[in-house]
């Protein structure tokens, strides 16, 4: 049983390691070098440590090899479901100085005249971005590196702001839900006990930036009687702490809801959590989209005599967004040169037509070349490619009938039968009418 128990223990350890995410996050320390220049130095965050001492990193300065204590667990939770085959996230570190919020509506958060002593010391801001999540975390750094076999600096995650939908893609006209979570742990026990039990008041700010312009979308300070700016564009936020433990750590929610999004609401959404003298911010990139509808006219058949060109084909590509990235291809399927080939002829596109919902439409035109008997039964198709569609795109097709090469179809037979039936009925009706008039005339003559 011992080998089986050992194997089970190893398997459980592997599962735990995988589910816990990466132990070390490689970063860059970005600093201002003056003159508009920036310097970058390699850094690393040690989120989890196995038994023994931290692994040595002689390639890093001790001040940039950070062993992160995460009392709220927000950093580790963000990486817990990070796909193993996903690209490594981009991580940057920068120096941070605590400061009060500048907005009038957030001044109630900082009742003290100056930054409290509990916030003194060295602070760093870590920004991590990927296609899976984005987060910003304020780290309070211990003053001196630890004299362990591997020189390392201890840091505590104080405020972490996180979104699991960094690049939401929303269908035009549907509601958008921009996810935001945050976690906070007072940096020192003195800071925690100096305040009333329970989570502190906080401020939530959502700003929208698009095409070089920005504006405040929504602001809230739950628990404070402050005059708030009016929310814009029907925005609603779910701003609240998730728990009320007396001394922390605490987690909260600041998710934003936008009803029936329109194209002008695309762009960057900056979500900021304000605490007294501390701010954490993440950016989401909202994209609005709508896949095109495709139809081809005339349909379902086009007709042409041998040696002449079929009528002009019009491919209607309607109600899509964004307008950029659209491509239209013309195909001839089942023609004389194989099952698939590029359709020849003169082609052009119409101007864009704009609709009230922000979507656009256009028409693609093809004037085919003259056909031969070999083209009989071939199909003309227009294939549309757009960023909102799968790789193969979306297509519509019509069938080509060459005159003199097709017998009557079932529809033709049914049409002829109905026509003959109606004609026979009309003839009988006329016969009855003539007979009735003759009978009526004979009876009148007899009376005379």
Residue count (the chain) = 448
Domain boundary among 386, 402, 418: 402
363 and 224: one domain? Answer: no
| Single residue among 259, 289, 319 that ends a domain in this structure | 289
Whether the predicted pLDDT of 114 surpasses 70? no
Name the more confident of 356 and 440.
356
Q: Are residues 255 and 385 in the same domain?
A: no
pLDDT band at 158 (very low <50, low <70, confident <90, very high): very high
Q: Is residue 183 part of a domain?
A: yes
Q: Are residues 239 and 96 in the same domain?
A: yes
Residue 35, pLDDT score: 84
Higher pLDDT pick, 49 / 353: 353
Residue 312 belongs to domain with CATH number = 2.60.40.10
Same domain? 389 vs 313: yes
Same-domain status, 241 and 105: yes
Kindly state the percentage of the chain with pLDDT values over 90.
55
Examine residue 448 and state whether it is found in any structural domain, yes or no: no
Please tell me whether residues 128 and 166 are part of one structural domain: yes
Report helix, strand or coil for 271. Answer: strand
Look at residue 132 and tell me whether its pLDDT is greater than 90: yes
Q: Quick one: pLDDT at residue 18?
A: 45
Q: What pLDDT is attached to residue 425?
A: 74
Domain end position, chosen among 402, 425, 440: 402
Strands 176-178 and 250-258: antiparallel
Strand order in the sheet with 267-275: 169-171, 278-289, 267-275, 203-210, 213-220
Overall domain count for the chain: 2
Report if residue 416 sits inside a domain.
no
Within a domain: residue 78?
yes
Residue 42 belongs to what domain range? 17-289
> What pLDDT, on a 0 to 100 scale, did the predictor assign at position 2?
46
Q: Within this chain, do residues 66 and 26 fall inside the same structural domain, yes or no?
A: yes
Q: Which residues pair with 203 in a beta bridge?
A: 274
Q: What percent of the chain has pLDDT over 70?
A: 82
- Residue with the larger pLDDT of the pair 169 and 115: 169
Q: Which two tokens stand for residue 304?
A: 């042409």
Distance CA 315, CA 394 (A): 12
b/e 221-248 (16+ beta carbons within 10 angstroms → b): beeeebeeeebeeebebebebeeeeeeb
Q: Is the pLDDT of residue 31 over 50?
A: yes
Q: Is 13 left (phi over 0), alpha (psi -120 to 50) or beta?
A: alpha
For 104, which DSSP code?
G
**What tokens appear for 13 in the block?**
């350890």
- Lowest average pLDDT, out of 13-22, 162-171, 175-184, goes to 13-22
Tell me how far apart the terminal alpha carbons of the chain are, to the nearest angstrom.
127
Q: For residues 383 and 246, state if they share a domain.
A: no
Which residue pairs, CB below 8 angstroms and at least 24 apart, start in 231-240? 232/208, 233/208, 233/258, 233/265, 234/258, 234/259, 234/260, 235/206, 237/204, 237/206, 239/204
Preceding peptide of 298 cis, ω within 30°: yes
Residue from 378, 415, 367, 399 nearest 300 by CA: 399
Q: Does 66 lie in the same domain as 163?
A: yes
Residue 288 has pLDDT above 50, yes or no: yes
Residue 352 pLDDT > 50, yes or no? yes
- Tell me the pairing of strands 250-258 and 353-354: unpaired
CB-based contacts of 257: which residues, under 8 Å, 6+ apart?
A: 175, 176, 177, 178, 235, 236, 237, 238
Q: What is the DSSP letter of 152?
A: B
- Structural domain includes residue 409: no
Q: Which of 250, 190, 189, 194 is nearest to 222 (CA)?
A: 250
329 or 55: which leads in pLDDT:
329
446 pLDDT higher than 60: no
- Whether residues 347 and 362 share a domain: the answer is yes
Averaged over 15-26, what is the pLDDT?
67
Token pair 């362990």: residue: 148
In the block, residue with structure tokens 């963000």: 78
Instruction: Kindly report the number of other CB atoms within 10 A of residue 174's CB atom.
Output: 13
Q: Which residue has the tokens 């695309």?
A: 266
Spatial neighbors of 211 by CB under 8 A, at least 6 apart, are 267
pLDDT band at 404 (very low <50, low <70, confident <90, very high): low
5 assigned to some structural domain: no
* Mean per-residue pLDDT over the chain, rounded: 85
**What average pLDDT does this structure show over 274-283?**
94
The pLDDT-based confidence of 9 (bands split at 50, 70, 90) is very low
Give the mean pLDDT of 133-152. 82
**What average pLDDT score do residues 397-414 get?**
66
Residues 241 and 362 in one domain: no
CA proximity to 401, closest of 438, 382, 376, 435:
376
Q: Are residues 284 and 302 in the same domain?
A: no
Question: Is 430 inside a domain boundary?
Answer: no
Compute the 3-state secondary structure of the chain and give helix, strand, coil in percent, each to the nearest 5. 20, 40, 40
Give the tens place of pLDDT for each residue, 183-223. 999 987 655 555 678 898 999 999 999 988 999 999 999 87
Integer Cα distance of 423 and 371 in angstroms = 37
118 within domain boundaries: yes
Taking residues 225-254, report their average pLDDT: 90
Sign of CA dihedral 288, 280, 137, 247: negative
Pair 246, 262: CB distance under 8 Å: no
């Amino acid at each position: 049983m011992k080998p089986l128990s050992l194997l089970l223990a190893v398997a459980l350890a592997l599962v735990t390691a995988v589910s816990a995410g990466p132990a070390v996050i490689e970063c860059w320390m970005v600093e201002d070098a003056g003159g508009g220049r920036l310097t970058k130095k390699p850094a690393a965050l040690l989120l989890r440590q196995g038994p023994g001492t931290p692994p040595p990193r002689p390639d890093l300065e001790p001040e940039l090899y950070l062993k992160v204590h995460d009392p709220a667990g927000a950093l580790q939770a963000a990486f817990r479901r990070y796909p193993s085959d996903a690209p490594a996230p981009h991580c940057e570190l920068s120096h941070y100085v605590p400061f009060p919020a500048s907005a009038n509506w957030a001044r109630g958060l900082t009742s003290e005249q100056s930054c409290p002593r509990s916030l003194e010391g060295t602070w760093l801001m870590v920004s991590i971005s990927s296609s899976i999540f984005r987060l910003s975390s304020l780290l309070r750094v211990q003053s001196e590196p630890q004299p362990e076999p591997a020189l390392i600096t201890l840091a505590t995650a104080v405020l972490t702001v996180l979104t699991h939908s960094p690049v939401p893609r929303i269908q035009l006209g549907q509601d958008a839900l921009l996810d935001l979570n945050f976690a906070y742990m007072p940096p020192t026990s003195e800071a925690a006990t100096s305040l009333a039990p329970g989570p502190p008041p906080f401020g939530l700010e959502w700003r929208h930036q698009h095409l070089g312009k920005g504006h405040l979308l929504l602001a809230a300070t739950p628990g404070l009687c402050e005059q708030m700016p009016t929310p814009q564009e029907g925005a609603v936020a779910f701003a609240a702490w998730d728990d009320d433990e007396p001394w922390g750590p605490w987690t909260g929610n600041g998710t934003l809801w936008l009803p029936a999004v329109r194209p002008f609401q695309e762009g960057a959404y900056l979500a900021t959590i304000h605490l007294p003298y501390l701010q954490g911010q993440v950016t989401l990139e909202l994209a609005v989209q709508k896949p095109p509808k495709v139809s081809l006219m005339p349909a379902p058949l086009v007709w042409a005599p041998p040696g002449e060109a079929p009528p002009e084909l019009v491919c209607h590509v309607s109600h899509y967004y964004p307008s950029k990235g659209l491509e239209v291809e013309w195909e001839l399927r089942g023609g004389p040169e194989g099952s698939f080939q590029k359709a020849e002829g003169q082609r052009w596109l119409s101007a864009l037509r704009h609709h009230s919902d922000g979507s656009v439409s256009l028409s693609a035109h093809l004037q085919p070349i003259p056909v031969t008997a070999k083209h009989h039964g071939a199909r003309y198709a227009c294939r549309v490619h757009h960023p909102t569609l799968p790789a193969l795109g979306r297509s519509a097709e019509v069938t080509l009938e060459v005159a003199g090469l097709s017998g009557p179809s079932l529809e033709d037979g049914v049409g002829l039968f109905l026509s003959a039936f109606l004609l026979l009925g009309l003839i009988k009706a006329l016969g009855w009418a003539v007979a009735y008039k003759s009978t009526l005339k004979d009876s009148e003559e007899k009376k005379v």
